[in-house]
Amino acid sequence: MASERTTPRLAVLASGRGSNLQAILDAIDAGRLDARVAGVFGDRPGALALQRARDAGIPARGLRPRGFASRGDHDAALFAEVAAVEPDFIVCAGYMRLLGAAAIAPWQGRIINIHPSLLPAFKGLDTHARALEAGVGEHGASLHYVTDDLDGGPVIAQARVPVQPGDDAAGLAARVLAVEHPLMLTTLQLLCAGRIVLRDTAVEFDGVPLEAPLQLAANRLEA
């Protein structure tokens, strides 16, 4: 196992229930992910995600946007706190606010987001209802690098689920969430091991540019 000093440090950004954060914490505890969560940050001080962090003895900070003159000011204050824990990677796991270019720029290639759709389909909110409305046969989740193009950064990996007859948005969301967690963990393992890197706009896996996102199959990522 890597020493404390070389163990990759993660900062997690979350606004809500924090099931992805919990999956990360559980995987670290179980020795399935060689990383350390150095801090959890969000825009809603009462979020369950922040409580989960505190319960695990991890510093957590919620900064309400109200009281800041602009979105940029809020981003800057939040990211100053993020930077203070010296993360190797920033993981947006259900952080529900847009991030401005100025906040993201210093972290290019080191900030990722999980989004509940097969990007580039269904960027933005209410992805499950929109997938049902569109009548797609397949839905899922994407892990991508964050850029100032909302949900538009280079996609690293995806996990797919079938849409079944009679699905409603809640049922479909639950099916997607079940694959989001292994998608998050397997991708983080590769990132933390330095096997996935961003070069300009291309995702490289073991030094080779990906032509298409990696796909999760049986809890492993495949090209």
Asked about 115 being catalytic, the answer comes back as: yes
- Which region holds residue 57: left if phi is over 0, alpha if psi is between -120 and 50, else beta? left
CB of 152 to ligand GRF, least distance (A): 14
Of residues 40 through 59, those in contact with ligand GRF by CB under 6 A are 49
62 binds ligand GRF (CB under 6 A): no
Residue facing ligand GRF at closest CB distance: 94
Integer Cα distance of 126 and 147 in angstroms: 21
Count of residues touching ligand GRF (by CB under 6 A): 15
Short-list 102, 104, 131, CA closest to 115: 131
Integer Cα distance of 31 and 189 in angstroms: 11
19 binds ligand GRF (CB under 6 A): yes
CB of 87 to ligand GRF, least distance (A): 18
List 8, 10, 12, 20, residue binding ligand GRF (CB under 6 A): 20
Burial (CB < 10 A; 0-12, 13-18, 19+), residue 196, is buried
Q: Which helix (H) or strand (E) holds 84?
A: helix 71-84
Is 120 or 194 the residue whose CB approaches ligand GRF more closely?
A: 120
Q: Which helix (H) or strand (E) holds 194?
A: none
153 binds ligand GRF (CB under 6 A): no
Is 28 or 114 the residue whose CB approaches ligand GRF more closely?
A: 114
CB of 131 to ligand GRF, least distance (A): 13
180 binds ligand GRF (CB under 6 A): yes
Q: Binding mask 81-100 vs ligand GRF (x if CB under 6 A, - otherwise)?
A: ------------xx------
Dmax of the chain from CA atoms? 50
Q: What are the C-alpha distances in Å from 64 to residues 23, 70, 178, 187?
A: 25, 12, 30, 30
- What is the set of active-site residues? 115
Chain residues that interact with ligand GRF, rule: CB under 6 A: 14, 16-20, 49, 93-94, 114-116, 141, 177, 180
